[in-house]
Amino acid sequence: MIKTVRSVDELRQCVRDWRSEGLSVGLVPTMGALHAGHMALANRSLETMDRTVATLFVNPKQFGEGEDLDTYPRDEAADGARLEEAGVHLLFAPVVEEMYPPHFATGVKVDGLGDILEGKYRPGFFDGVATVVSKLLNQAGADKAFFGQKDYQQLQVVTRMAQDLNIPTEIEGVPTVREDDGLALSSRNVYLNAEERLAAPVLYKTISHVAQKVKSGEDVSDLEKWGGEQVLAAGFSNVDYLSVHDGETLEPYHDHSRPGRVLVAAKLGRARLIDNVAV
């Protein structure tokens, strides 16, 4: 069984012991239901750091009204086994009361970056993310923390937050892990039925095509419109956004000399899928 701690005190003690031996420490925050995408973060940490801590916490503050907090897939035993097999040194799996005790009153909000795209469609989502990640970074005191490019806006929000709050943990983004047909791995893919699963890869196919065409100089708003139509034609019920942005500020893409990013969020059956690619 992987060593598992549930209190911040135990987590700090463990990290303190490693640090006193001069060992570097990597942190991999997750909400569990681990798949190969999460394991890519863990493996990146294991390759580059002396010790790796994974965290498992389904953060109620980042779920909105009517979202899937109650039904979110949870299997700590399977997650623990997977992490142990990979060689992760410690699992921090706090209960909600350890993270948010009675009278908890503080929130972290990243203006601008946190209000657009996902922030617009999931109000309060990035406040919940920024709050829990700032806590996890402060609790662990790791040298580096690893986040997936799959959640590209989240990666930018967390990077901004850590810089703004002078948190001395470096944030590293890890490339998206995909199924063979291009669908980005996600804990929420289990919500897709067989027919929807067949349609799902159109998301990646479409944004890849858009990225390629943006690069070759075609009109951005025409491509965004075309992309949305492709996704709807494949059977998605709704496209929240399919748009091209600056790769860092996430502002609308104008300056073709800068890195760009195509981001999409769309609903397919019970699932709301997000994905993104570089221009």
* Contacting residues toward ligand AMP, per CB under 6 A: 30-31, 37-38, 40-41, 147-148, 150-151, 174, 176-177, 184-187
CA-to-CA distance for 80 and 88, rounded, in angstroms? 9
Cβ 120 to ligand AMP shortest distance, Å: 19
Question: Which is closer to ligand AMP, CB of 159 or CB of 223?
Answer: 159
Question: Cβ of residue 103: shortest distance to ligand AMP, in angstroms?
Answer: 26
In the structure encoding, which two tokens stand for residue 232, read together?
């709807």
Classify residue 163 as exposed, middle or buried by CB count within 10 Å of its CB (0-12, 13-18, 19+).
exposed
Q: What is the bridge-based pairing of β-strands 25-30 and 144-148? A: parallel
CB-CB contact of 264 with 244 (8 Å): no
Per DSSP, the three-state class of 48 is helix
Strands (E), 116-164: 144-148
Q: How far apart (Å, rounded) are the C-alpha atoms in residues 257 and 264?
A: 22
CB of 184 or CB of 220, closer to ligand AMP:
184
Question: For residue 57, what are its two tokens?
Answer: 């916490």
| Minimum distance from residue 105 beta carbon to ligand AMP (Å) | 24
Least distance (Å) between residue 183 CB and ligand AMP = 9
State the nearest-atom distance from the C-beta of 33 to ligand AMP, in Å: 7
| d(C-alpha 169, C-alpha 139), whole Å | 11
Classify residue 11 by its DSSP letter. Answer: H
Euclidean distance between CA atoms 117 and 224, whole angstroms = 14
| 63, 119, 161, 222, 236 from 111: Cα distances, Å | 19, 10, 10, 29, 30
Measured from the CB atom, the residue of 84 and 232 that comes closer to ligand AMP is 84
Query: Measured between alpha carbons, how far is 23 from 60 in angstroms, rounded to an integer?
Result: 33
How far is 195 from 186, CA to CA, in rounded Å?
17
Quick one: tokens of 248? 């860092």
Cβ proximity to ligand AMP: between 137 and 174 the closer is 174
Active site residues: 38
Identity of the residue, 81 or 185, whose beta carbon is nearer to ligand AMP in the bound complex: 185
Supply 236's token pair: 């998605």
Nearer to ligand AMP, 129 or 220 (CB): 129
Least distance in Å: CB of 1 to ligand AMP?
21
